[in-house]
Amino acid sequence: MQYKIPVQIENEDTIFLGLSFRQLGIIMGWGGVAYGLFTVLEPRIGSQMAIVFVIPLVVIGIIIALVKVSEMTFLPLILNIVRLNLNAKKRLWSQGTDSYEPFDIGVIKVKQEKKGEANLSLAEKMQKNDEIAEKLKNL
């Protein structure tokens, strides 16, 4: 017996006004933050000035909820841009190697050991590891 498998299982179902549950949640969350900020600022600086501070929050929320580039939503897009800027811009292809090895995905680059460093004693290697750990703490 064969079962029918849906073709578009990764598409989000629209709930209201063509928006998915995730998009509605993001818009309502940012809208709630904007409303809270408005209620705090309105008695102090007036409603017209409070709206000036609130409108950018609403726009940011709408952008985060609705922007989709190359089938990526806003958060994966930003994370991929950050990863691209932190890692090397050029990737070399090598046959037989998976595209995403756990080591390749990391964003911290560690210098390759030089040929002379292979003969270091254990204490010297531990000292170098401690130096790297200190550099990472200072990031």
Q: According to the model, what pLDDT value does residue 112 have?
A: 59
- 9-16: long-range contacts (C-beta < 8 A, 24 or more apart)? none
Q: What's the burial of 57, exposed, middle or buried (CB within 10 Å: 0-12/13-18/19+)?
A: middle
pLDDT in tens, 75-133: 888 888 888 888 766 666 666 655 555 555 555 555 555 555 666 777 888 888 888 88
Residues 30 and 61 sit within 8 Å (Cβ to Cβ): yes
- Spatial distance between the Cα atoms of 35 and 51, rounded to a whole number of angstroms: 10
Q: According to the model, what pLDDT value does residue 103 have?
A: 55
Cα dist from 99 to 17, 30, 48, 91, whole Å: 39, 36, 53, 10
pLDDT in tens, 65-78: 888 888 778 888 88
Q: According to the model, what pLDDT value does residue 31 have?
A: 92
Q: According to the model, what pLDDT value does residue 108 have?
A: 55
Q: Under 8 Å CB-to-CB from 8, ≥6 apart: which residues?
A: none
Q: How confident is the model at residue 33 (pLDDT cuts 50, 70, 90)?
A: very high
Tokens encoding 105: 């995905």
From 25, 139, 22, 34, select the one nearest 76 (Cα to Cα). Answer: 22
Q: According to the model, what pLDDT value does residue 117 have?
A: 60
Q: According to the model, what pLDDT value does residue 3 have?
A: 79
Q: How confident is the model at residue 32 (pLDDT cuts 50, 70, 90)?
A: very high
Q: According to the model, what pLDDT value does residue 77 have?
A: 84
Of the chain, the percentage scoring pLDDT greater than 90 comes to: 15
